[in-house]
Amino acid sequence: MAKDFDLMEDSNRSLNPSIHEVSDPARRIFVRGTLASAAASLLGGGLLAGCASTGPSPAGALGRTIGFASVPMRNVDEVIVPPGYTARVLNRWGDPVGIAGRMPAFKADASNTAAEQEAQAGMHHDGLAYYPLDGSRRGLLAINHEYTDDGLLHPDGMKTWSADKVRKAQAAHGVSIIEVEATPQGWRQVLPSKYARRITAYTPMHISGPAAGHPLMRTAADPQGTRVLGTLNNCAHGHTPWGTYLTCEENFIGYFHGSDQPDAHGKRWGLKKGGAGYRWHEFDERFDATKHPNEPNRFGWVVEIDPMDPTMTPIKRTALGRAVHEGATVALTDDGRVVVYMGEDARFEYIYKFVSRDRVKPGGFAANRDLLDHGTLYVAKFNADGSGEWLPLVHGQGPLTAANGFADQGEVLIKARQASDALGATKMDRPEWTAVDPISKEVYCTLTNNSNRGRDGHPGVDAANPRANNTMGHIIRWKESGDLDARRFTWNHFVLAGDPSLARADAKGNVRGDIFGSPDGLWIDPRGVLWIQTDVSTSTLGKGDYANLPNNQMLACDPTKGEIRRFLVGPRGCEVTGIAMTPDLRTMFINIQHPGESPSERSDPDAPTKISRWPDGGRPRSATVVITKNDGGVIGL
């Protein structure tokens, strides 16, 4: 989600000390490859379904070569890809998802009803994953819908407000499951489809894991604390080895109305009067935290969905901790246990990993239904000497005791931020997507930006976050000391984003190749190519440190060589996000989020096309785009 620097949440007032007053220069290395590219071509490429593995793969034999010509940065209102590639729109906000008997067409004036929106793709596409039904020819896409622009969603925006508008906005959140297939004319959506489904901000969901039934999870509507309505602000995602989709609840607190003076718990999570202006509480009382103080505790979780079963009740997995979750990247230890890496997208928040107690079993979701309910959650501490450690968020260990406000493990997980504060974890510059290299098993995390770093009253620079007024962001990388479940690691900076033509030293960066800033989406494909997507807020694009970057983009890199090359430029006002490929690596799916977004992040309903008319020449619509190579080859090669 694009965010104005001045509007970003900044709720961490813990006294965790800075690691170091200035960055260790040794940590500012762009790339410190642990494998030669020749070796990379011989080693395993990981599970093609999207999670890391150490087993051999045909994709690994292709090597990490980048073969496309760099796309020049341009201020355009279209999707630009390299020569020899074609990008086509596949699924837009308002397109029917394919529920039989319920396939309402999108109305160009945004006059679709809430009931119609329930059967249409939601707004602001974000993370996505591909699930094969017939290999690389037919499959399902699970697509997140992060938030809504009410200026576009309703004909008159928020000039009037009603229960119907709240219901429609809630229906435009969540997740879409759609079926897609390759045809001689190109990829298309299958309509209708027995798999088609919409999951919204009022879809019933189970709560599982240590926080299920906790007193802090109970409400008047759910006195047992085990059932919640809806998921929202669904940002990045994860893909499990047993074939389920993990969708992550990010900036949930902005939907809740708080008091003038929230309690310490609410304040630590950014609760405030009026929230972020969504106004849901005016017609849906559960979003009024002054009346239902525990309702916010029921959001901020990783939610598991089986895309193959449209009747499955989604499950909020509390063992993975409560956070402003940006994503949940899934990998496997050598003995078959699951590791989930997660960033928390807010200023001065933390990087987490979860290690399952049990091994993955054959038999799909049915055999692994409870696997994510048992394990240990850790938070990262980055030391100035390039070492790091994972601190366990386990009740009874260290300061995580009843005497310090943590009655049990459920409370540790509900208050994961406070627990991480108490443990002395490293406060990061907006950690977002994570990625695990299937060949080297190195782990990467995007740190999008943090303009408050070094300001009066805020933490100064440290080894892991070395730049004051960090408008450009960076990507950090670490190698676990052993298998992925290790308690210690070594780290360095993969790249400091920036533009070397700028005068300000802390905005220059050290990019080798095409310049970029605000890295967000991140994925390493099965042959080892690192894909980077950017999320520069509309209020910042083309201005100040971003004078030479008027649009958001996607880039690719062979991490053993270091050159970063621009693969795609998005339309005006958009974020480029979400990425997946078919198993044969010959089709790529990405999302274009909020094209035409205004600097205020809410469009003027009287001028909806002021900034963009993408993709159809009218009201701008977030969309999934399918990219293929004209010769039918592997994407990026």
Which helix (H) or strand (E) covers residue 357, if one does? strand 351-359
**Across 434-457, average pLDDT:** 97
The amino acid that residue 121 corresponds to is A
Question: 3-class DSSP state for residue 62?
Answer: helix
At 247-290, the pLDDT tens digits run 999 999 999 999 999 999 999 999 999 999 999 999 999 999 99
Distances (CA, A) of 566 to 84, 511, 530: 14, 12, 12
pLDDT of res. 57: 55
**From CA 403, how far away is CA 494, in angstroms rounded?**
41
Task: Identify whether the C-beta of residue 110 lies closer than 8 Å to the C-beta of residue 152.
Answer: yes
Average pLDDT over all residues of the chain: 93
pLDDT for position 46:
33
Going by C-alpha positions, the residue among 492, 482, 548, 622 that lies closest to residue 145 is 622
pLDDT value, residue 34: 33
Report helix, strand or coil for 150: helix
**pLDDT tier at 536 (50, 70, 90 boundaries)?**
very high
DSSP secondary structure string for all residues of 204-272: EEEEESTTTT-GGG--SS-TTS-EEE---SEEEEEE-TTS-EEEEE-SGGGG-B--SS--HHHHHTT--
Instruction: Work out the burial of residue 210: count CB atoms within 10 Å of its CB; fewer than 13 is exposed, 13-18 middle, 19 or more buried.
Output: buried
Q: Which of these, 117, 126, 178, 119, lies nearest to 150 by C-alpha position? A: 117
54 confidence band (pLDDT: 50, 70, 90): very low
Topology of domain 72-250+300-629 in CATH is Neuraminidase (2.120.10)
| Each residue's pLDDT tens digit, 540-551 | 999 999 999 999
CA distance 273 to 18: 31
Q: How many CB atoms lie within 10 A of CB 617?
A: 10
Per residue in 577-607, pLDDT (tens digit) is: 999 999 999 999 999 999 999 999 999 999 9
Banded model confidence at residue 8, pLDDT cuts 50, 70, 90: low
Compute the distance between CA of residue 424 and CA of residue 418 in angstroms, rounded to an integer.
10
Question: What is the predicted pLDDT for the residue at 16?
Answer: 66
Rounded to 5°, angle at Cα 478 from 476 and 483? 155
Average pLDDT over residues 114-118: 98
Domain boundaries, the chain: 72-250+300-629
pLDDT computed for residue 61 by the predictor: 82
Task: Give percent of the chain above pLDDT 90.
Answer: 90
Confidence of residue 12 (pLDDT cuts 50, 70, 90): confident
Residue 345: phi and psi, rounded to 5, are -80, 80
Say if residue 442's pLDDT is above 80: yes
Which pLDDT band, with edges at 50, 70 and 90, does 38 fall under?
Answer: very low
This prediction has a pTM of: 0.92
Residue 40 three-state SS: helix
- pLDDT score recorded for residue 22: 33
CA-to-CA separations, 425 to 323, 379, 392, in angstroms, rounded: 14, 6, 10
pLDDT tens digit string along 131-145?
999 999 999 999 999
- The answer to whether the beta carbons of residues 601 and 609 sit under 8 Å apart is no
- Phi and psi angles of residue 41, each rounded to the nearest 5 degrees, phi first: -70, -15
Helix (H, G, I), strand (E, B) or coil at 626: strand
The β-bridge partners of 208 are 317
**Cα 563 from Cα 544, distance rounded (Å):** 25
Give CA separation, 589 vs 140, 181, 195, 449, 567, in Å.
Answer: 12, 12, 19, 26, 13
Count other C-beta atoms under 10 Å from residue 115's C-beta: 13
193-203 tens-digit pLDDT: 999 999 999 99
